[in-house]
Amino acid sequence: MSARAGLLAALLALAPAMVPSVASAQQIVPFGALEASGFGQGVGLLGVGIGTGRAGWGPTASVAAYAVRVRTGPGVYETQTAVAPAVGMRYASATAATAVLGGYVFANNGTTSVGGIGNPTGGEDGPFVTLQHDYWGTGERMAQLIGTYNLDAEYLWSRAKLTQKLGPISPLSAGGEVILQGGGNSGTKSYTTQLGPVLQFQATESLRFDASAGVALRSNNQPSSGYARLEFVFVPRTGP
């Protein structure tokens, strides 16, 4: 059995046992993002995560759907849609959480040319692994480290983000982010590094919006450009 088939079989075997258990905990976390880059490129993502919402170890699951539009030549664009379900385990404390998940990307075509901007799981069918760490402390400072690697596409998407609250009762936080993404399994690998400031707005106790913008630096003599992104996450309160 190939590594791809083995991981997919494992996911199918684990999902019926894990997802009902997680769903019964009633913490369902919707999230989404819209990103625009230079040359008419962009990505839209919408997903949902399911977790126990309790401290300690617990199962977790997620599914994300996205559409990516990438410029492949002067006036030529390629668009890809995909769905990426995953299951794993998460450890949470009062101030932070770390999760490890394994999933599979179901893309609408087999090309990897759409992996250049904002695509968190690569542009090709295949298994992926995700490691994510979130720190929120007492609410004054927040940090996130996340990395996703598509084994078949040999594609990495990773981000480090840090923000600081602007005042004791302010709903705004400010900081910055660094994103490294790219790879590829066909000849020359290409990478994009994104750098820019981040502004967070805590609309309610559960709903947060993140706005970021900056510069996207590309390898292999590809032209650099700007980028802008708007994200949201809704984390419902859970009981003790």
Q: What is the C-alpha separation between 214 and 73, in angstroms, rounded?
A: 23
The predicted pLDDT at position 14 comes to 46
| CA-to-CA dists, residue 107 to 53, 111, 211, angstroms | 30, 9, 27
Q: What is the largest CA-CA distance in the chain?
A: 56
The C-alpha atoms of residue 131 and residue 32 are separated, in whole angstroms, by 18
pLDDT of residue 87: 96
Q: What is the pLDDT of residues 129-143, one digit of tens each?
A: 999 999 999 889 999
Q: What is the pLDDT of residue 119?
A: 64
Question: Is residue 153 within 8 Å of 185, Cβ to Cβ?
Answer: yes
pLDDT above 70 covers what percent of the chain? Answer: 82
What pLDDT sits at residue 240?
Answer: 54
CA 20 vs CA 26, 42, 130, 188: distances in Å: 10, 34, 21, 43
3-17+30-233 maps to which CATH number? 2.40.160.40
What pTM value is reported for the model? 0.84
Write the CB contacts of 67 (distance below 8 Å, at least 6 apart in sequence): 43, 44, 79, 80, 81
Cα(60)–Cα(182) distance, integer angstroms: 26
CA 165 → CA 94, 139, 169, 173, distances in Å? 18, 8, 9, 4
Strands 27-37 and 56-73: unpaired
Cross-strand pairs, 191: 182
H helices, E strands: number in the chain: 1, 12
Computed on alpha carbons and rounded to an integer, the radius of gyration of the chain in Å comes to 18
Q: Which two tokens stand for residue 185?
A: 């399994």
Residue 40, pLDDT score: 83
What pLDDT does residue 153 have? 83
- pLDDT value of position 3: 44
Which residues of the chain register pLDDT less than 70?
Answer: 1-26, 109-119, 123, 238-240
Phi, psi dihedral angles at 232 (to 5 degrees): -140, 155
pLDDT digits (tens, 9 = 90+) for 134-167: 999 988 999 999 999 999 888 899 999 999 999 9
* Inter-residue contact 166 to 139 (CB < 8 Å): no
pLDDT recorded at residue 76: 83
Tell me phi and psi for residue 7, to 5 degrees: -70, -40
Phi, psi for 238 (deg, rounded to 5): -120, 155
pLDDT for 26 = 64
